Amino acid sequence: MRKKFIGANWKMNLAYQDAKELYTALSCMSSSSCDIVIFPSALYLSEFSQQKGLPLGAQDIHFEVDGAFTGSISASQLKSISCHYLLIGHSERRQQFHEGNDLINLKVKRAIASELTVIFCCGEPLEERNSLGHLDFVLKQLKEGLKEVNETDLQNFIIAYEPIWAIGSGVVPSNQEIQEMHGFIRKSLSDWYGAALADSIRIIYGGSCNESNAFEIFSIPNVDGGLIGGASLNVVSFEKIVNSF
């Protein structure tokens, strides 16, 4: 039985005081049925990590160990403040910062070397969905992003399926569409890594998941939780989502 996982992706939202209050409020929550991880702005990670609240993750890293990379954050810097989770390949990074599968693969390898738990994001744009290229598109993201990732490394991975057209749009795929993609991702992992390992990997859904649709989405076979953007900025909404299992 896979333990559920819920991530709160705050993106570039919340000024310091609001972020601190929200993190403190959310940290009063506990759930025996799922892991809850907060991904705030990197600015706040260091201070929040000293509060001993919910586990924390970063939204991005640079793939190099260290050096002259103005504005970037390294995997070892995250480890040094007890931040153990990391989003890689979010579609906003892929689109706005032109991150391709090769760069994402470098980040994946750096995260593995630093023993971070990776939430590997994938998902197709609307054109691919409309032309029925969505499975091939996601397959390529997985294949190239996970290049040279072995069985031991993959154990520490969570895959987030986030169709780009569903992120922040209020549009959610049908249950059948989510089920098809999650089943397809698990089958692909099984082909590459074997059924036992593929069966243990959590595959979560992201894209306009909120307190009204979470229960239904989380009931779909092969959906092991969610990556929540907008709805994670509100304590009441997020709590309802966490209690949707």
Which residues are designated catalytic?
90, 162
When the beta carbons of 116 and 217 are compared against ligand PGA, the nearer one is 217
Residues 1-30 that bind ligand PGA (CB under 6 A): 9
Minimum distance of ligand PGA from residue 228's CB (angstroms): 5
Residue from 116, 207, 214, 238 in contact with ligand PGA (CB under 6 A): 207
Q: What is the dihedral of CA 161, 166, 170, 175, to 10 degrees?
A: -60
Neighbours of 167 (CB within 10 A): 21
Query: Which pairs count as long-range contacts for 29-33, CB under 8 Å and 24+ apart, including other chains?
Result: 29/54, 29/238, 29/239, 29/242, 31/242, 31/243, 31/245, 33/3, 33/4, 33/245
* Secondary structure letter of residue 209 according to DSSP: -
Tell the smallest beta-carbon distance from residue 152 to ligand PGA (Å): 27
- Contact between 78 and ligand PGA (CB under 6 A)? no
Contacts with ligand PGA: how many residues (CB under 6 A)?
13
Measured from each CB, the residue nearest to ligand PGA is: 229
Asked if 208 touches ligand PGA (CB under 6 A), the answer is yes
What minimum distance in Å lies between the beta carbon of 167 and ligand PGA?
A: 4
- In the range 143-202, which residues lie near ligand PGA by CB under 6 A? 162, 167-168
Query: Which residue number, 39 or 48, has a Cβ lying nearer to ligand PGA?
Result: 39
Query: What sections of the chain are H helices per DSSP?
Result: 16-26, 45-49, 75-80, 91-96, 101-113, 126-130, 134-145, 151-154, 175-193, 195-200, 214-218, 235-242
Q: Which residues are near ligand PGA by CB under 6 A?
A: 9, 162, 167-168, 206-209, 227-231
